[in-house]
Amino acid sequence: MEFFNLHTHKWTNQSNVLEIVNQYPQEFDATIPYYSIGIHPWFIVKERIESDLAIIESKIQEANCLAVGECGLDKRIETPMELQQMVFEKQLLLAQKHQKVVVIHCVAAFQELIALKKKLNISVPMLIHGFSKNAQLAKQLVDNGFYISFGKYLLLNKELEAVFKSVPNYRFFLETDTVDEGIEAVYGLAAKYKGISVKEIQEIVNNNLNKVFDLKF
């Protein structure tokens, strides 16, 4: 396995890529080898919360489910924060109960996220996917035990170079999310920004993968 894609919505089925494909409870595809499953804050359906959570709890007990998510908080949508927080808390508690990593979608709610981690005493790894903010926030997240994943915005926004370089090697992952570029392109840019080879980026990510997911590749 040469490349690890922390978060994607497109399963590419490449033998040299381990990819965690995002899945939703009501649209589960059992043919996907490795996946995360969760209730995204955009897609909360009040009448379906309990049945969705039951599906999530069932699936996360399977070995090829690598994470809960993507789930989280988003202040830029109309769904009330109180409802978002309740749904997110329930998923965090499931992740803690079953010792699964959490892949997080967070928009304009990072302080609430940090507070929630402390309040619930979550000890499983929590990964912020698709990071696009500043180095100060990145440092605050790392200092509070979060991992940060870069991908789509790293490719699209040159200003993220300095932010990415500021994140310690033991705290980052790489992903493609919804972009058409492959994970190899993200690795190439990450290597360029860090001033090291793609092989060294592969070693860094694989070390983080082994540590966070307890997988040996």
Q: Is 9 annotated as a binding residue?
A: no
SS3 content of the chain, % helix, strand, coil (to 5): 45, 20, 35
Q: Which two tokens stand for residue 7?
A: 């978060």
Q: Is 70 annotated as a binding residue?
A: yes
Q: Is 177 annotated as a binding residue?
A: yes
Q: Which helix (H) or strand (E) holds 65?
A: strand 65-74
**Between 81-98 and 110-120, two packed helices, what is the crossing angle to 10 degrees?**
40
Q: Which two tokens stand for residue 63?
A: 């070995």
Answer for the pair 96, 120: CB distance below 8 angstroms, yes or no: yes
Q: Show contacts of 41-44: CB within 8 Å, 24+ apart.
A: 41/71, 41/72, 41/73, 41/74, 41/77, 41/79, 41/84, 41/87, 41/88, 41/105, 42/74, 42/77, 42/79, 44/79, 44/83, 44/84, 44/87
Answer for the pair 138, 150: CB distance below 8 angstroms, yes or no: no
Q: Which helix (H) or strand (E) holds 121?
A: none
Instruction: Calculate the CA 208 to chain-centre distance.
Output: 13
Q: Is 82 annotated as a binding residue?
A: no
Q: Annotated binding residues, as ranges?
A: 70, 105, 129, 177
Q: Annotated binding residues for a divalent metal cation, as ranges?
A: 70, 105, 129, 177
